[in-house]
Amino acid sequence: MKSLIITADDFGASSQVNEAVERAHVQGVLSAASLMVSAPGAAEAVAIAQRTPSLAVGLHLVLVEGRPTLPPDQVPDLVDESGLFRIDMVRAGVTLFFLPAARRQLAAEITAQFEAYAATGLVLDHVNAHKHFHLHPTIAGLILKIGARFGLNASRLPIEPRGVLARIEPQASYPAEPVVDLWAAWARRRFRAAGLTVPDQVFGLRWSGAMSAKRLGGVIAHLPPGLSEVYLHPATDRYEGSAPGYGYVEELAALTDPTVIAAVRVGPIALGGFGAHIAGQQTKEPLA
């Protein structure tokens, strides 16, 4: 039996996202969600998670393009003049690597986000980072060190098999991304060495914001052996801060599409969150 996690990122970003996450789980194939603890809709997302215990929820660390959990004056090297995290990931990454003060602020902010998540009372299913910023070696190291105090035992590393994508859309081109692939492979080795569960493959990187029902169904039909994760960004509509060009509504439709639901039910697939797979408690048919 193949193991699958289908995750919604940006849980808590807005009511539009929160409603989509609940609908996609109750009516579709969504099995997990990653919570932004300081986003505008975080409290609403927590309430949804508390009344929907079958939804596995983890922490979506935000360290770029978002608001810090700590007051901006406590993380001055991480934020811009508006008090929000910087949007230039390259510049931010260099700052974190070379500036000791920035690393101390980063450690404090990561700790604050773990603490905020713990305060919700939700079980910590997994941790990942917005824009995959946990590939940065400094951030990765701090996540492992700090996360160990909060029961961290699973994370996503974006290693996407291009061969599967080519089988779904053979007419398209899927060029290698050597920098991302190199850092993701390195991080996966590091995280697994620390005892974390990491998927064998992840889907959603090249189709981020564009995971149609056909594409999601194709991933399920061609799912490789081992543990796979597919991540999406469903929402009922666009919202303040939403990414240009993302098909939020289309991704929600994919998660609730009858053919996708049938493919999960019919195939030899165990669907669940990270915790269920770690515990060996996956369910063949988690849907109502």
Domain layout of the chain by residue ranges: 2-279
pLDDT of residue 178: 79
**Type of residue found at 214:** K
Tell me the pTM: 0.94
Q: Which CATH number fits domain 2-279: 3.40.50.2300, 3.30.460.80, 2.40.30.10, 3.20.20.370?
A: 3.20.20.370
Q: Dihedral sign, CA of 170, 175, 178, 183?
A: negative
Q: What is the dihedral of CA 270, 271, 276, 280, to 10 degrees?
A: 0
Cα 60 to Cα 83: distance, rounded to the nearest angstrom: 20
Tally of CA atoms within 13 A in the half-sphere of 107 that contains its CB: 12
Q: Is residue 268 exposed (0-12), middle (13-18) or buried (19+ Cβ within 10 Å)?
A: exposed
DSSP-derived secondary structure for 124-193: ---EEEGGGGGGSHHHHHHHHHHHGGGT--BB------HHHHHHH-TTS-----HHHHHHHHHHHHHHHH
Other beta carbons within 10 Å of 75: 22
> Which residues are CB-neighbours of 134 under 8 A, at least 6 positions away?
61, 127, 128, 140, 143, 155, 187
Cα 253 to Cα 28: distance, rounded to the nearest angstrom: 9
User: What six digits make up the tokens of 75?
Assistant: 């993380």
Beta strands in the chain (DSSP E): 2-11, 32-35, 56-61, 127-129, 201-203, 227-232, 269-271
pLDDT of residue 288: 33
**How far does the chain reach from its first CA to its final CA, in angstroms?**
21
pLDDT of residue 280: 64
pLDDT of residue 89: 87
**Type of residue found at 67:** R
Q: Are 7 and 19 a contacting pair, CB within 8 Å?
A: no
Q: Specify the length of the chain in residues.
A: 288
In order along its 288 residues, the chain shows pLDDT tens digits of 799 999 999 999 999 999 999 999 999 999 999 999 999 999 999 999 999 999 999 999 999 999 999 999 999 999 999 999 998 888 888 899 889 999 999 999 999 999 999 999 999 999 999 999 999 999 999 999 999 999 999 999 999 999 999 999 999 888 877 778 888 999 999 999 999 999 999 999 999 999 999 999 999 999 999 999 999 999 999 999 999 999 999 999 999 999 999 999 887 899 999 999 987 644 433 333
Give the angle 283-286-288 at the CA atoms, nearest 5°: 155
Where residue 195 falls (left for φ over 0; alpha for ψ -120 to 50; beta otherwise) is left
Q: Are strands 32-35 and 56-61 parallel, antiparallel or unpaired?
A: parallel
Rg of the chain taking only CA atoms, in angstroms: 18
